[in-house]
Amino acid sequence: VVRHREPAAPRVSLHLVYRAGSAHEARGRTGLAHVLEHLMFEGSEHVPPGAFDEWLREAGGECNAATGEDATHYWLDVLPEGLERALFLESDRMGYLAEALGEAALDREKRVIAREAEHVRDGSPSLGDEWIARPLLFPDGHPYGHPVIGNAEDLEAVGIADVLDFHAKRYGPSNACLVVSGPIEIGVTRALVE
């Protein structure tokens, strides 16, 4: 955990990075890290479906995420008084995501990602080449040899058990780095993080 006090900043920024990227996926399950990134916004045991974004907005916040080869990143920016809520939301989806995930959410997010992949392949020649270039750049079986977004047939095969297993193995405090920056009190922030 890195805490940085910047008294003049108008908002508190949280950046949570998990060492859980596409390079950590099992063969035949490409796209799993990206699917999990999407599902992390669907709710958790103490955050009902759809409430994550709503509760964050109520705290004056906004968020985004991105998956890469080596890590998945989550950014939350909140008003200073929203820090505790932002940390609660992150901790609940880190520790209690499994209790809330269901097949309906998984199927919905797989369809969203399939549309994203189609848009990338068809709408952006440079990014669309990722499906052509990666196999040429990396030998068969190399962790970087497939697109981060995953291959369509692998994505379709991803099941809820795959997602829960990946989350259990890769989404814990010992595999994460949290940065909290802004007009924070260091001691108070440490206590909230703990």
Active-site positions read: 37
Cα(first)–Cα(last) distance of the chain, in Å?
10
Report the alpha-carbon distance of residue 16 to residue 172 in Å, rounded: 11
Distance of CA 6 to the CA centre of its chain: 26
Report the alpha-carbon distance of residue 55 to residue 136 in Å, rounded: 45
Rg (CA), the chain: 18
Rounded to 5 degrees, what are φ and ψ at 48? -60, 160
